[in-house]
Amino acid sequence: MSPSVSPALPPIPADFELPPRLKVDGPLIRKPNGSEFHPVGVSWGSWGKNFVGDAEANQAIGCNLIRDLLRLWGLYGSAEIDALDFNAYAFISRSHLQKFIEELQWITGAGMWAGPAIDSNCAQSGTQNADMRRHCDPYGVFGSAGRNIYSDRPMLKVFCGMWQSLARILRTMLRIAWYEIHPEPLPGRGPEWAPLLRDVQRQIIEAIREVDKDTPILLGARNAYDASLLDEVYMPDRNDVIYTGNVLSGRMTNPEKLAKALDDMERFRDRHGVPVWWNQYGRRTGQDRDLAHMRSALTQTNARRIGFAWWQNAQNSTDPDEYALRYPDGEGGWITKQNEVDCLTEFLQAARHATPAN
């Protein structure tokens, strides 16, 4: 039996016509009308730094999906980013939930699909560094395992309840592509953690399925979405799962590592006949000033027909060498990396044109 929460919202009426959802069809994702959907876009990964105009701008350059993250229970550089609130319904701050839904409405209102995620540094590990250990496990009782949803099972029930409550709300919204249930799990953890990860993912899915039978699930492997480990989380009994991984600076700027990651994803897809997708695909600008790595990585993933969300749309810091298509100028304005936007536009549109009706 999956962990449940007492609904604070009235049940959806039996005669309510729910919006249609994407469907998994072997290695393909299909739209409600049956045509193939090849998701390509960007990630909105910096809380509070994406605006209504971004949705329209992202759609204009060729995005058909935006990955949007709600962050809670972790250290994110600013306390205002963390949405965890034990006094709120489902322990999600009301103001954060309202803003998250508003962002999803901006995305879907611009004609794109939205990929919501609940991202939690504590839930995924809680051991990333000394400060994170102290934040996630303030009493220091969980030892080397850290406090997370693997070691603290009551917190897993809380996390399942969060997802169940959010899914209950989002099921009534148009163009919700999938639920990314547990981003970048278990960074740096070994294979002994794989069975625990599978159990956690199944419990979250079961909680969601109590209120939403239709919206696909996006999930990935341990070691922070390591594509080489996807076999550990493969669920042959389910036909509603899309599998994911990521490629960031350490891989994208290393041709050998990039080729291996792409091989891993493609082989997993072809071996099991399931859809795959890069949820974070990007590199730091300072490590690729001539865009050679960006162009090569986008060329290769398009050639293999693996969709992606470029990391990322906007960043928190004023450092021009970091990830993101635009960054704050420190005086209330924004600076756009136009050469990167132009490059991304070329490959977004090429990916969509290769798929009819996309």
Residue 2's pLDDT band, with cuts at 50, 70 and 90, is very low
The residue-averaged pLDDT of 236-256 equals: 97
Q: Do 137 and 146 meet the contact criterion of CB atoms below 8 Å apart? A: yes
Mean pLDDT of 342-353: 95
Give the CATH number for residue 126.
3.20.20.80
pLDDT given at position 270: 98
pLDDT tens-digit series, residues 293-339: 999 999 999 999 999 999 999 999 999 999 999 999 999 999 999 99
The count of domains in the chain is 1
C-alpha dihedral (226, 228, 231, 233), degrees to nearest 10: 0
- Is 54 part of a structural domain of the chain? no
Q: Is the pLDDT of residue 70 over 80?
A: yes
**How long a stretch of residues is the chain?**
358
**Average per-residue pLDDT in the chain?**
95
- Residue 272 confidence (pLDDT) above 80: yes
Amino acid at 124: Q
Strands 217-220 and 179-180: parallel
94 has a pLDDT exceeding 80: yes
DSSP tag of 189? -
Higher pLDDT, 278 or 358: 278
Comparing C-alpha atoms, which of 76, 26, 49, 53 is closest to residue 315?
Answer: 49
Structure tokens belonging to residue 231? 């076999």
30 found inside a domain: no
DSSP state of 38: -
DSSP 71: E
Q: Determine the pLDDT at residue 9.
A: 64
How far apart CA 335 and CA 50 sit, in angstroms, is 13
Task: Confirm whether 6 is domain-assigned.
Answer: no
pLDDT at 75 over 90: yes
Inside any domain, residue 312: yes
In a domain, 37, yes or no: no
Q: Where residue 10 falls among pLDDT bands split at 50, 70, 90?
A: low
34-38, 163-167, 246-250, 351-355: range with lowest mean pLDDT: 351-355
Cα angle value 231/235/241 (rounded, 5°): 105
Q: What is the pLDDT of residues 213-231, one digit of tens each?
A: 999 999 999 999 999 999 9
- Cα gap 114→318, rounded to integer Å: 27
pLDDT digits (tens, 9 = 90+) for 171-199: 999 999 999 999 999 999 999 999 999 99
Give yes or no for residue 7 having a pLDDT over 80. Answer: no
In a domain, 17, yes or no: no
Task: Show the beta-strand stretches assigned E in the chain.
Answer: 23-25, 28-30, 40-44, 65-71, 113-119, 179-180, 217-220, 241-247, 276-281, 307-310, 326-328, 334-336
Residue 13 lies in a domain: no
pLDDT level of residue 356 (50, 70, 90 thresholds): low
Q: What mean pLDDT is predicted for residues 37-60?
A: 97
pLDDT, position 5: 42
What pLDDT was estimated at residue 353? 84
User: Does 8 reside within a domain?
Assistant: no
CA angle 168, 78, 187 (to 5 degrees): 70
Closest by alpha carbon to 350, among 298, 310, 311?
Answer: 298
Asked whether the predicted pLDDT for residue 12 surpasses 80, the reply is no
* Domain coverage including residue 145: 60-353
